[in-house]
Structure 1
Amino acid sequence: MLSILGFSMIAVFMYLIMSKRLSALVAIMLVPIIFGVIGGFFTELGPMMQEGVEGIASTAIMILFAILYFGIMIDSGLFDPLISKILKIVKGDPLKIVVGTAILSMTVALDGDGTTTYIITVSALLPLYKRLGMNKIILATVAMLSMGVMNMTPWGGASAMAMASLNLDASELFLPMIPVMGFGLIWVLVVAFILGKGERKRLGVVEIQHDHTNSAANSELAATTVSRDYRRPKLVWFNFILTIVLMASLIIDFMSLTILFMIAFAIALLVNYPDLKDQQDRIAVHSKNALAVVSIVIAAGIFTGIMSGTKMIDAMALTLVSLIPESFGPFLPVIVAYASAPFTFFMSNNAFYFGVLPIIAQAADAYGISAAEIGRASLIGQPIHVLSPLVAAAHLLIGLVGTDFGDLQRFAVKWALGTVTVMTIAAIILGVI
């Protein structure tokens, strides 16, 4: 009975958010409450929900301050020297331009926000692509491939949802994935080299004036990202060193990610914007992005709390285990790595990570496979997810580049599948899954 109730709840939840009858934020709170009442758990729901929310509070706080931190870094102009350097180096060589696109997009994507990544990358480099007559779909493809890998950071969305739904912290889920992401980024550079070499063969190397191109790109960049009043060019080295120290601290894992990002954000805000009004303005600008991600993570505490407290997740897992052939059990992480690609393409990350993933993780436990291992595997399909029409940032990219969604998907999907394959193989070799 609990299994039927649980699967019915998942089906209703997924239907409501995929049909846009309810927002994910509302559905993830109200649907489990309603099914909890139907299951006869009315008097026990309060403690269940409280426990679920408390379990993911630290993750939500970490995501909040990570988004704010990287927002400050972008506002202050941390990436401006990189953009200028790339524009200076690539000049009129299509090969260098495409590789530069990859380097810029994967660097800017550190903040985990596709919108920011696409705006900065396209604004800086689209004038060059137009000037040389390069294929603009290549620009969009390389930016998407970079975002597909970097979206696996805890503040990028997918990892945050996986941590929330499986009640894991970043050290369990994300840190082992860093070398896997490294292989994914190397693959993106390889793809950029292949595509760039093709464009160089088609167009040749064109001699252009750097100053004109650089000026055009930078003027468009300034118009589409942030007011120059908030740039802090004299603090670029300070911000760079602060970010490097933060990244190193994350890898060393000597302190919780939550505390590290809180401290780093406070330092960055105080040094870059000592004026209280400027601080308030910068926080207000980035609060929209932060609220969208953090609110859904906190709300997920109700969902996971009720699923666990009512034992629905256990009953569903037993049902799923009974349906999986015994010989397939040990290969579940690899199956999940590939299955997460179509799952997150045809449904939102919310539906997959909160609706499907907990069931798979519970089923995997019967084969001695940890929830962390299943969680890591579930992230590997993100390079396909970013190609989905369900991703709002993808529509922004299409508009910025001026291409057709179908054309982009047909061109990019094979390279995105390559990213999934490379990261899956790397994860297996490194013992991550």
Structure 2
Amino acid sequence: MIRQLFTKDGYVHRIDILRANDAQLVELSKSMGLALSLQEMKKIQDYFKKRGRLPSDLELEAIAQSWSEHCCYKSSKYFLRQYVYNIAKDKIVAREDAGVIEFDEKHYYVVALESHNHPSAIEPYGGAATGIGGILRDVLCMGAQPIALVDPLFFGMPDTKYEELPKGVKHPRYLFRRVVEGIRDYGNRVGIPTVAGQVYFHKSYTGNCLVNVGCIGIVEKNKLVHSKVKRPGDVYIYAGGRTGRDGIHGVTFASEELHEKSEEKSITAVQLGDPITKEPLIHACLECNEKGLVEGMKDMGGGGLSCVCSELAYEGGCGAEVYLEKVPLREEDMKPWEIWVSESQERMLLVVKEENVKEVLNIFDRWDVEAVPIGKVIEEPFIIAEDGLNLQREKKKWIFRCQMLRKCY
């Protein structure tokens, strides 16, 4: 039905979204794992019609990441702005990857909290473990040393009869045991203790457990780092684990409803954690920050390189040029779009002045952590992903024009 819309163009495919009908737009979203509604697909179609060109698969994937529920809170942002964002606004120093509030005269404390529900529902050990890994990185992004974890957990009733479980749903006792094991093993191996938590059982959580992960860190006031670039010419340095196919479509999968075939269809969307790599990565990033070598920093979490490269540049009022062929890969023959949106774990992106690149790379080398320059900050407002033959150019304003859907509940 939609195969004729795809045309090979070097390492990417051009997609003739311009002449696609509504049914084909829905099928495109479904087959590519974009998790976008017909309304959103038509908005993308209208945009490229005005520009008179066909988008690549990389561009559609990038838009889907930024427009996912996970990345832009499109169905809840209205309520967050109305009821949450103004609470204690005068006390909040920064609200970026994590929240920052004054602790004493010399320090800020940094707090982050998020959920890892969908991944934990289909692969509870890995889903919970990578939830811990992600929340640690969110605190690290701000230049802070993570010091403690907290985990409020919600499951279905432990005495639920197996015959009462909906198709495709794992038993609450199994989910409970494996989630706790994932949290325990990752936290212990990275050396950050879990100091508090909560466990609640109710039948309403049978079909979708809630696995909340929180982290608190501490940073000297003059060492606080922001998740944005400062100036054109600075260099993007990729540090940490290699990029593979695990975690692809993690954020778009998290935007969909779970169903009986979710595990079969979306198991590859669950990331693979590696706390042994994370521990030296934390130390290396903190050492770079302690020496004043970091201009900006962000973790490669939801949406992978697609989101981190774009968000850092966008928040700093700049663009970025990224060379996909320089990204360290764990698997051969990865397509450009797979590299761009992979959510492989234990990866950070540092923004560094060109004159400090060598020293930063030496620090990571001493900690036995792989690090390599993969791009640079540019003045023009474009995110450019170069794959050796093709340049995927798109205005960053478009990528971040996330719809805010006002709904009545």
The TM-score bracket by the shorter chain reads under 0.3
Alignment TM-score, normalising by the size of structure 1: 0.25
Q: Which has the higher helix share?
A: 1
